[in-house]
Structure 1
Amino acid sequence: MTKKVNKTTEAGADLDSVSAAVSRSIKTHRKAQKLSLDELARRAGVSKGMLVETEKGTANPSIAILCKIAAALGLSVADIVNVTDSPSAWLIASDEIPTLWQGEKGGSARLLAGTSGPDMIELWRWQMQPGEVFSSAGHPAGTLELLHVEQGTLSLQTEGAVLTINVGCSAVARTDMAHSYANQTEKPLIFTMTVAELHKNQRQ
């Protein structure tokens, strides 16, 4: 089942404000780069219909689709949900932090902060209820994730490894391949995650 942008508020930005930010950012950057809807859809590998609805603010795109569109524009997801800025330091208020995934049993993934793309770092906080799973087809080449479990046990699977990460433990994983996070226990899971896409390393 495709995971969608959260329709509820968890001390953060609600669906309407997230959708408005996404719509405005994608449209602005696409036009600045003089890309047609057809061309951006082709580069991102998403349907033109989804892109049109996203720009209208009427779509409910998954994290995977946001990642594809952002990468095609040379941006980060944080860029298009408005949690980046350009000063040497800036504050992101609690009510501005977007929730970009909601599990079927009430879990959530919040993008706490992020830098601008295409070379970018993002900080996430995930909560997963027992039995919840999130799967991804993979991020751009060279993407790494650093994870730390605050509560419960995280089951992490990539094409090359299966890890059980217990409370207080950390892990590093390449996620430029299919991967998934799961809570296979009977207790709630909370973990933080830093995502790094450093394309400069791929050009050297």
Structure 2
Amino acid sequence: MKIGLIGSGGMARALAGKWAAQHEVMLSGRDLAKAKSIADEIGVQAGSAEEAASFGEVVVLATRWEDVFSGIDSAGGPEAFKGKIVVDINNPVSIETFLTTRDDARSLTEAISDYLPGAHVGKAFNMAQVAVWADPDMTYDGRQMVTLYTADEAADEIIAQLIRDVGALPQRLGSNAHAYQLEAAAAIVIKFLFAGRDPQTIFNFIQPEVKAVR
């Protein structure tokens, strides 16, 4: 599978570094030299946002949440995402109040889906910090990490596979109508991280019948 990432920050680097073992991956960034340096370190390609969107069958929106729509526009706008699987990993959360910033009772993911009517959108990888995704083990209290996600039907299995490919277990919460719940849950984690908790603090979806395979 070909995966293009709009962004080259910590989250993009951690996810791309794991996906590189199974997929073709391209990072992008405003500073192309910086993106290329990171890409070289983890063994993936680098390009402009427009090139990453064109390259990817899957396009991951890995900018700051405030920059999501400008990132989409820099990649060519809605037309560039037609037919693509688009993964939103962002959390519209204020680091002053630790509340979601959406005031319409809808998620950022739904707003992205509205903006990209020709794409298949889902939300994943938003409920843990970079250190978690960079962790080669992905087990907590002897259990494999579970990653909750939302997706429309066309994106469902692809996103589930991308979650498996970073070492976690996928658990679909539902359609993107439930993405707001993921963003609100992430706000709780972010609040504790800013209070000084360990960077690998997570919510894990405990399934007593499922144990990590070692």
- Superposed pair shares fold, TM > 0.5: no
> TM-score under structure 1 normalisation?
0.31
TM-score by length of 2: 0.30
